[in-house]
Amino acid sequence: MVVEDDTTVRSVVGDYLRAAGLEVSLHADGTSARSALERALPDVLVVDRMLPGVSGDELCREVRARSDIPILMLTALGAVKDRIAGLEHGADDYLAKPFAMRELQLRVQALLRRRAVVVAAGAFTAGDFVVDPVRRVATVAGSGRELALTSREYDLFLFFARNPGRVLTRDEILREVWNWRVGDGATITVHVRRLREKIEPDPRFPVYLRTEWGEGYRFTPRPDA
């Protein structure tokens, strides 16, 4: 689903993605998109932040409250603080205008691949957590409580869980989780903060996912070990 109020951009994006073999529904405002999203959720939502009626930020928050579908934000607001704001509303990816259609296509297809992937390996235990790559679910060991992770948060947590005790650099995380060769480190900062809010007893003093200043992040699946 593409939600974009600019007629030309909406039409060109729709045509380009359809030419890439994707089924695309187009909406010119947030109100009609909200109604459509209440009936059925797409595999990927591409949404402009600044929309008439219901804003892209509102749509993002509403969808994220009930689903982990990948969300890509398109916007003319390209400053770092604007990108961070979009990610904090629940977006998985962010593309500032003007953008190349080929880059948009590749990012959408990357989000689709992550959503569709089925890993052959079964569930595994990572300290205080159990991760199931097939169901794309992570739970707290013992209680069985499921972590309410978005699609991107799950990908990030899975990467940490598969590399316990090792310092992972931001470049490595961008490459392996986002499939980016170059990217904005603020993206990782926001997602790590959101992940800590869901796995840490007190996100202000993380014990599982710690920052190694000047290097990256280290995941300790059982802090008392």
Which listed CATH number (3.40.50.2300, 3.40.50.300, 3.40.50.720, 3.30.2010.30) goes with 2-116? 3.40.50.2300
Task: Name the helix (H) or strand (E) containing 7.
Answer: helix 7-19
- What Cα–Cα distance (Å) separates residue 67 from each residue in 71, 121, 144, 198? 10, 25, 20, 16
Query: Within 13 Å, how many C-alpha atoms sit on residue 76's CB side?
Result: 6
Average pLDDT, the chain: 86
pLDDT bucket at 14, cuts 50 / 70 / 90:
very high
Angle between helices 30-39 and 56-64 (to 10 degrees): 20
Residue 216 forms beta bridges with which residues?
169, 212
Query: Around Cβ 3, how many Cβ atoms within 10 Å?
Result: 25
Residue 205 confidence (pLDDT): 94
pLDDT in tens, 19-69: 998 999 999 999 999 999 888 888 899 999 889 889 999 998 888 877 778
pLDDT bucket at 161, cuts 50 / 70 / 90:
very high
CATH class for the domain made up of 124-219? mainly alpha
Q: What sign has the CA pseudo-torsion 199, 205, 209, 211?
A: positive
Rounded Cα distance between 202 and 127, Å, is 18
Q: What tokens appear for 111 in the block?
A: 């989000």
Q: What tokens appear for 103 in the block?
A: 């880059």
Q: What tokens appear for 50 in the block?
A: 């600044």
Fold match between domain 2-116 and domain 124-219: no
pLDDT bucket at 186, cuts 50 / 70 / 90:
confident
Tell me the mean pLDDT in the region 188-201: 94
Q: What tokens appear for 163 in the block?
A: 């590399």
Q: Are 42 and 14 in contact (CB under 8 A)?
A: no
- What percent of the chain has a predicted confidence (pLDDT) above 90? 47
Place of tokens 């003007």: 98
**What is the pTM assigned to this prediction?**
0.58
Residue 120 confidence (pLDDT): 43
Determine the distance from the C-alpha atom of residue 61 to the mean position of all C-alpha atoms in its chain, rounded to a whole number.
Answer: 13
Rounded Cα distance between 67 and 52, Å, is 23
pLDDT in tens, 79-127: 666 667 667 777 888 888 889 999 999 999 888 877 655 444 568 888 8
More confident residue, 220 or 134: 220
Determine the distance from the C-alpha atom of residue 156 to the mean position of all C-alpha atoms in its chain, rounded to a whole number.
Answer: 9
Q: Where are the domains of the chain?
A: 2-116, 124-219
